[in-house]
């Protein structure tokens, strides 16, 4: 409590006065002039009552069960940091852990591609707010020589950011393996070059 730059509040003045009265009563051996029914509830009693109520209240723990089990598929895990969704996808002939991506079809904007990617992985009933029309980061890579044609030398992956609105994912059906991962745990799953580019636009 701020003691140095404050004055006494109403409650504290009431408490002090009642203490004074009690002291005076004890010293001058029972003054029955003041009607005994006057101060039925003392300020001290109120404080005790409030203290009891506080002790009875138990807040939910910050470290949940999912933390103890290290269950990386649940959203209840690290409640103090942001979690990112990683999905296992098949690119070429490799199965990789990636941020969910979908190929761009000509005739749609990049943002609608991102929305389509979300719909494929979550089903239609997911609410996520995409922040802005512009991409946040880019990762480009060249295809291995076997697949390269004259026009397609490699691919560019543009990243968008979206906030999940509802944390109720029981309705959504995620088809493949998925993980909710914090920023420092990304290194366990992503490849080095990809990780370097992704880390640039992700804040913890």
Partner 1 sequence: RNYFPCRAQPKKKKKVDVKREQAQKDRMKKKIKKLEKAAPEMVPIEDFTTPLKYSDSNRVRSLPPLSFEETERRVLLMKKWCLFKQKQDKAEKKAIQTLVEAQQEALKELRLESEELYQAAIRRDEGLFPFEREGPNYTPPLPGYDPPEGKCVDITKVYTQ
Q: Which residues in this chain contact partner 1 in the complex, by CB under 8 A? A: 3-4, 6-8, 13, 59-62, 64, 76, 79-80, 109-111, 129, 131-138, 140, 156, 158-159, 163, 197, 200-201, 203
Shortest separation between residue 147's beta carbon and partner 1, angstroms: 19
CB of 140 to partner 1, least distance (A): 7
Cβ 138 to partner 1 shortest distance, Å: 4
* Nearest-approach distance from CB 186 to partner 1, in angstroms: 15
| Nearest distance, CB of residue 120 and partner 1, angstroms | 20
Please say whether the dihedral angle defined by the alpha carbons of residues 11, 15, 16 and 18, taken in this order, is positive or negative: positive
With respect to partner 1, which residue has the nearer C-beta, 125 or 140? 140
What is the distance between the alpha carbons of residues 48 and 4, in angstroms, rounded to a whole number? 24
Q: Can you spell out the DSSP letters for 18-54?
A: HHHHHHHHHHTT---SS-TTS--S-HHHHHHHHHHHH
Q: In what order do the strands lie in the sheet with 178-182?
A: 94-98, 83-91, 178-182
Q: Compute, in degrees rounded to 10, the torsion defined by CA atoms 174, 178, 184, 185.
A: 160
Going 123 to 128 to 133 to 136, the CA torsion angle's sign is: negative
**Which residue's CB is nearer to partner 1, number 50 or number 88?**
50
Span between the terminal Cα atoms of the chain, in Å: 33
| Nearest residue (CB) to partner 1, 176 versus 184 | 184
The smaller minimum CB distance to partner 1, of residues 49 and 163, is found at 163
Cα 46–chain centre separation: 37
| Closest to partner 1 by CB, 73 or 177 | 73
Closer residue to partner 1, CB minimum distance, 33 or 80? 80
CB of 176 to partner 1, least distance (A): 26
Q: Assess contact for 156 and 143: CB atoms under 8 A.
A: no
């Amino acid at each position: 409590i701020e003691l140095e730059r404050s004055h006494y509040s109403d409650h504290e003045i009431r408490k002090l006065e009642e203490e004074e009265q009690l002291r005076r009563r004890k010293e001058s051996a029972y003054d029955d002039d003041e009607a005994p029914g006057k101060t039925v509830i003392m300020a001290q009693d109120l404080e005790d009552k409030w203290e009891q109520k506080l002790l009875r209240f138990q807040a939910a723990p910050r470290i949940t069960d999912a933390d103890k089990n290290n269950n990386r598929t649940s959203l209840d895990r690290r409640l103090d940091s942001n979690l990112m969704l990683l999905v296992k996808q098949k690119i070429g002939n490799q199965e990789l852990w990636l941020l969910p991506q979908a190929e761009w079809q000509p005739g749609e904007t990049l943002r609608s591609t991102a929305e389509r990617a979300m719909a494929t992985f979550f089903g239609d009933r997911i609410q996520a707010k995409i922040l802005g029309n512009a991409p946040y980061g880019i990762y480009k890579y060249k295809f291995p020589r076997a697949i390269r044609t004259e026009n397609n030398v490699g691919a560019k992956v543009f990243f968008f950011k979206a906030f999940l609105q509802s944390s109720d994912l029981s309705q959504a059906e995620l088809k493949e393996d998925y993980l909710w991962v914090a920023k420092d745990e990304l290194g366990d799953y992503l490849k080095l070059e990809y990780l370097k580019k992704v880390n640039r636009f992700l804040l913890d």
